[in-house]
Amino acid sequence: MATHTRRTLGHCGSRTRAVTFATDTSDQASTVETTLTRLLPPADTAPARLHEAMRYAVLGGGKRIRARLVYAAGRTLGLPGERLESVAAAVEFIHAYSLIHDDLPAMDDDELRRGRPTAHLAFDEATAILAGDALQTLAFGVIINDPRLKDQPGIRAALIATLAHACGSRGMIGGQVLDMTSEGRDIGLEELEHVHTLKTGALLRASVIMAADHRPDLATEQRDALDLFARKIGLAFQVRDDVLDIESDTATLGKTQGADIAHEKATYPALLGLDAARDYAERLYVEALDALAPFGERAEPLRAIAAEIVRRDH
């Protein structure tokens, strides 16, 4: 993690600042783990097997890009980190639930996730399905029951609306279905982008937008700028993912390398070629940074994560 961040921040300027950010990012990552651990039901409360499966799926590592996007957007907007805890946890719960269901035998039938057996292998298929279901519910639950937002039902309602929009049939789940139906079929760049704008983009975007939801006073232009950043970096994330599926290895990825090709999935490298796909990720990254211009220095945390997203090796 530290290596990445330093590589990332070499890009931004002086060594001193790079070190500062490396520390910040790593602090943030440990805050995320602490929060997730606390907001998940304890493994020893009934039904223990379900709670164990939920914890297994969520706490098994992961880059926490979504939670860290929440915090980074929050810092850009001057929000205290503790106000964002439930939202940061919620996006990771949704992400973990989507991975559990994606990995099921009826879907991608994957055996490896974050370097460990997928949930349906570590437990069983029924428990995995239900753990995913309960994690989705928990995502809505932690936001709505956040004691720090007790007196702000308007903000809680806005957050739930953003999350429900991002996860639903016209968001993440819609993207998952479109991704499935595109397997083994020739699709063009426009359709591919549409799939990924929904499948991975919607939740990444929501991670940024939910930070903005905490600032109902935010000017429309600033909200739109964050939205544009989130859309660009969400797409860049997926292009990078497709590139990694080819150029990385299973041990580094923590999931099966070459799975896209095996599933005959349409990918950016397949459509554009590997080099052009790398260039495309870079272009999206630059456009994402451009979108942040109105925030000046305050957007450094978002810039750091953006750099990490397009340069990560897993």
Is 47 a binder of its own copies (CB under 8 A)? yes
Interaction between residue 262 and its own copies (CB under 8 A): no
Q: Is 132 in the site for its own copies (CB under 8 A)?
A: yes
CB of 136 to its own copies, least distance (A): 6
Contact 205, 234 (CB under 8 A): yes
Structure tokens given for 279: 């260039």
- Should residue 126 be labelled a site residue for its own copies when binding is judged by CB under 8 A? yes
For residue 117, state whether it binds its own copies (rule: CB under 8 A). no
Question: What amino acid occupies position 238?
Answer: Q
Buried b / exposed e over 224-247, threshold 16 CB at 10 Å, is: ebbebbbbbbbbbbbbbbbbbbbe
Query: Min. distance of Cβ 232 from its own copies in angstroms?
Result: 23
**Least distance between its own copies and beta carbon 130 (Å):** 5
Chain positions 150 to 189 lying near its own copies, rule: CB under 8 A, are: 153-154, 156-157, 160-161, 163-165, 167-171, 173-174, 176-178, 180-181
Task: Let me know the angle formed at the C-alpha of 132 by 130 and 135, rounded to the nearest 5 degrees.
Answer: 110
- Write the single-letter amino acid at 204: L
Q: Considering the rule CB under 8 A, would residue 250 count as an interface residue with its own copies?
A: no
Closer of 178 and 306 to its own copies (Cβ): 178
Please give the Cα distance from 287 to 268 (Å, whole number): 18
Gap between the terminal Cα atoms of the chain: 11
Long-range contacts of 115-122 (CB under 8 A, 24+ apart): 115/60, 115/61, 115/251, 115/254, 116/60, 116/61, 116/254, 119/53, 119/56, 119/57, 122/53, 122/56
Under the criterion CB under 8 A, does residue 122 sit at the interface with its own copies?
Answer: no
The yes or no reply on residue 293 touching its own copies (CB under 8 A) is no
User: Would you say 215 or 311 has its CB closer to its own copies?
Assistant: 215
Of positions 27, 82, 125, 249, contacts its own copies by CB under 8 A: 125
Site string for its own copies, 4-43 (x = CB under 8 A): -------------------------------------x--
- Map the footprint of its own copies across residues 209-248, applying CB under 8 A: none
* Rounded to 5°, angle at Cα 19 from 88 and 26: 25
Nearer to its own copies, 49 or 314 (CB): 49
Q: Which helix (H) or strand (E) holds 117?
A: strand 116-117
Q: Which helix (H) or strand (E) holds 113?
A: strand 112-113
- 191 vs 227 by CB, closer to its own copies: 191
In the complex, which residues of this chain contact its own copies (CB under 8 A)? 41, 45-47, 49-51, 54, 97, 101, 104, 106-107, 124-127, 129-130, 132-134, 136-138, 140-141, 144-145, 153-154, 156-157, 160-161, 163-165, 167-171, 173-174, 176-178, 180-181
